Amino acid sequence: MYINPVNNVQITYMPPQMPNAYRNYTVVDQNKVDVFVKQGENALPYISDVLQHSNNEAQITETLYILDRMIDNGTKNVDKMYPVLSRFNNTKSPNIQTFLAGIYRKTQVPDAFGPLVKMLIQNSLNPNPQAFFDPNEEIGGAILSYISPRFKN
């Protein structure tokens, strides 16, 4: 359940469905995603609050997905959320790692480079046998975007 801060209307959304043996991606309620993406920067305090306080992997994954779509939609100041996002730098969850790496790739926050390298090494030394996909693809891509001259100003 979510209460829209704009009009205080209570809305119920489908909970996220995490990857499984038959589907290697997360399914989210696109209506919920659209609500947050349309709010742009106004939604960042709510997103930040969820990421600061939640310990629910599905909720965190869904929120990171929403934040990633917000970046794609042009939402500014997501890079300023690094202190909140850094809470997940040591996660072993392939779901959280993948979306976190995608966000870091797009925001290019300098402090995120080291944690990305650490994730890649950690996953290479201790692969997660329960993962339904390889998070190192996104992590490696994020690292490459940091060192590629294509992304330099």
CA pair distance 31, 49, nearest whole angstrom? 20
Of residues 121, 129, 42, 55, the one with CA closest to residue 88: 55
Per-residue pLDDT of the chain (153 residues; tens, 9 = 90+): 566 655 667 778 899 999 999 999 999 999 999 999 999 999 999 999 999 999 999 999 999 999 999 999 999 999 999 999 999 999 999 999 999 999 999 999 999 999 999 999 999 999 988 889 999 999 999 999 999 876 565
CA pair distance 153, 147, nearest whole angstrom? 12
User: What three-state secondary structure class fits 16?
Assistant: coil
Query: Considering the entire predicted model, what is its pTM?
Result: 0.90
